[in-house]
Amino acid sequence: DIDHLNLRVQKELVEWLNWLKADIGFDGWRFDFAKGYSADVAKIYMDRSEPSFAVAEIWTSLAYGGDGKPNLNQDQHRQELVNWVDKVGGKGPATTFDFTTKGILNVAVEGELWRLRGTDGKAPGMIGWWPAKAVTFVDNHDTGSTQHMWPFPSDRVMQGYAYILTHPGTPCIFYDHFFDWGLKEEIDRLVSVRTRHGIHSESKLQIIEADADLYLAEIDGKVIVKLGPRYDVGNLIPGGFKVAAHGNDYAVW
């Protein structure tokens, strides 16, 4: 165990971080298991190493109901993520992985896409509150891969990417999905749509529909994404939009 309150530990870790920056060329940090030490300590490391980007792993269980499924309201869960960024410095480069969105998406794609519209009509994860500070993802080395601790439904992974790669937040692509699962071309197509239309972390999201079998949203008035098996949605798509990417139970206009 590392005693992060020990001044010598802090001093030596800061020196190491600055060595990684100056000598090795790293310019951003990932704070692993950030629940293991206070945000005040993380702020010390941030302030004294001045990275251009930093993301924290704050992995807490969602709130579950008696049916074993996540509650619709996950405000307490995403509030914890927002609080960490606030304490470390909301105006700086600190972000957190959007575990709230990950957890809700895991369940939503299994025929419960209504979960993707919160009670306020916005996205139910951290991206609904503070998208500029939310790093979205479908799986990572802990949740998926060989550890398989909280995996995304494997047959619906591309629905997850269709969501995060068209939505606000800073999307993160999992190595395994890109290189090992044969999804490179499909993911690339979604990335190119995001890049071509200038979708960014603070893009404006308008949720058009969120039913069990259909989620439809417009981003920045430029891109429309559909998740779910419902096929006939033509009456909901404004004129002038053409399909730019599509796959199993998803499409992007």
The residues annotated as belonging to the active site are 32, 57
How far is 113 from 237, CA to CA, in rounded Å?
18
Count Cβ neighbours within 10 Å for each residue of 86-101 and write b for 16 or more, e otherwise: eebeeebbbbbbbbbb
Residue 106 exposure: Cα atoms within 13 Å on the Cβ side:
18
Name the residue among 169, 156, 150 with its Cα closest to residue 228. 156
Residue 252 exposure: Cα atoms within 13 Å on the Cβ side:
26
* DSSP type of residue 223: E
Q: What letter represents residue 31's amino acid?
A: F
Most distant CA pair in the chain, distance:
64
Strands 28-31 and 53-56, by their bridges, are parallel
Strands 245-247 and 250-252, by their bridges, are antiparallel
How far is 207 from 117, CA to CA, in rounded Å?
7
How far is 14 from 16, CA to CA, in rounded Å?
5
